[in-house]
Amino acid sequence: MVSWNVRGLNDFQKRLVVRNLLREWKCDVICLQETKIASIDRQLVCSIWGCLYVDWVALDADQTAGGVLIMWDRRVLEKLEVLDELVGIQQYWNIHWCCFGDFNIVRFPSERRGASRLTPAMEKFSEFIEDLNLIDLSLEGGSYTWSSGTNQPSMSRIDRALVSHDWKQHFQDVTQWILPRSVLDHFPILLEAGGMARGKSPFRFENMWLKSDGFVDRVDS
């Protein structure tokens, strides 16, 4: 899967760049953010990823901000038996969660170039991740996912993947990579999984258990 804040897809030349990179990466699921397109149709989807075996869902936007386009190869998702989860199960709490994209916030000072202190916004973001019991996957291939592109650029890691524990147990060898940046200020993020896990999952201790009343006494007994 690839997540990428493209900062607008109205320009034909930019769509051509995006299309060529998607062909090179050969991903099964693509999430493009900030499309800035009011209405996305099949013709536009085909111009970005091709028409063969592609399905999509889009959140429309205006020409200045917003908009999300998710595209996927239906053959792969049907094989993995996760298509229903992607396109709209009503019981959201019963599915495996993978939330990835541009969160526009960092967790730690080390994720923003030149930052030296932990801010309240950083603390709230970490609390959000902990409260939902999500895993913040480590990033391979670089430290930052956004750069201003100036001579002394501002840089930060504001793009990331957050997954639930059952999602991570469902797939093997999950790795999050930073891909080379092209004409945009955001680096694409690749989430790669080796395949679905089979058999019994290994035991893993969850830090959230420590917050449960009586947990320590139960372990002691």
- Give residue-wise pLDDT tens across range 182-201: 667 889 999 988 654 444 44
Single pTM value for the model: 0.72
State the pLDDT at residue 203.
59
Q: Residue 38's domain is classified under what CATH number?
A: 3.60.10.10
Residues in the chain predicted with pLDDT less than 70, given as ranges, are: 63-64, 79-95, 182-183, 194-204
- Choose among 216, 220, 196, 2: nearest CA to 96: 196
State the pLDDT at residue 84.
54
Question: Tell me, what amino acid is at 50?
Answer: G
Alpha-carbon distance 33 to 132, whole Å? 23
- Is there a contact between 53 and 83 (Cβ–Cβ < 8 Å)? no
Task: Quote the domain boundaries for residue 49.
Answer: 2-220
State the pLDDT at residue 126.
95
CA-CA-CA-CA torsion sign (91, 92, 93, 94): positive
State the pLDDT at residue 78.
74
Alpha-carbon distance 50 to 55, whole Å? 10
End-to-end CA distance of the chain: 45
Q: Domain count of the chain?
A: 1
